[in-house]
Amino acid sequence: MTLSSLWQPFTLGRLDLPHRLALAPMTRSRSNPDGTPGDLTAEYYGQRASLGLIITEGTQPSADGQGYMNTPGIYTPEQIEGWRNVTEAVHAGGGAVFIQLMHAGRMSHPDNTPHHRQPVAPSAISADQEIFTPTGPQRTPTPRELSTEDIQATVADFRHAAASAIAAGADGVEIHGANGYLLHQFLSPNANHRTDSYGGSVENRSRFVIELAQALADEIGADRVGIRLSPAMPLGGIDEGDTESVRAQYRHLVGELTTLNLAYLHLHHVGDDELLRSLRDVWPTAVLVLRYGRTREQIASDIDAGLADIAPLGRFALANPDVVERLRADAPLNEVDHTTLYGGGAVGYTDYPALTHV
Instruction: Report how many helices (DSSP H) and strands (DSSP E) the chain contains, helices first.
Output: 10, 14
CB atoms within 10 A of CB 11: 11
CB-CB contact of 198 with 147 (8 Å): no
Nearest Cα to Cα of residue 76 among 13, 33, 40, 44: 33
Geometric angle at alpha carbon 165, from 16 and 122, rounded to 5°: 115
CA dihedral sign of residues 244, 217, 226, 145: negative
Q: Which of 75, 181, 198, 352 is catalytic?
A: 181
| Cα separation, 56 vs 49, whole angstroms | 12
| Cα separation, 105 vs 122, whole angstroms | 8
The DSSP 8-state label assigned to residue 84 in this structure reads H
Asked about 181 being catalytic, the answer comes back as yes
CB-CB contact of 40 with 47 (8 Å): no
Q: Which residues are catalytic?
A: 181
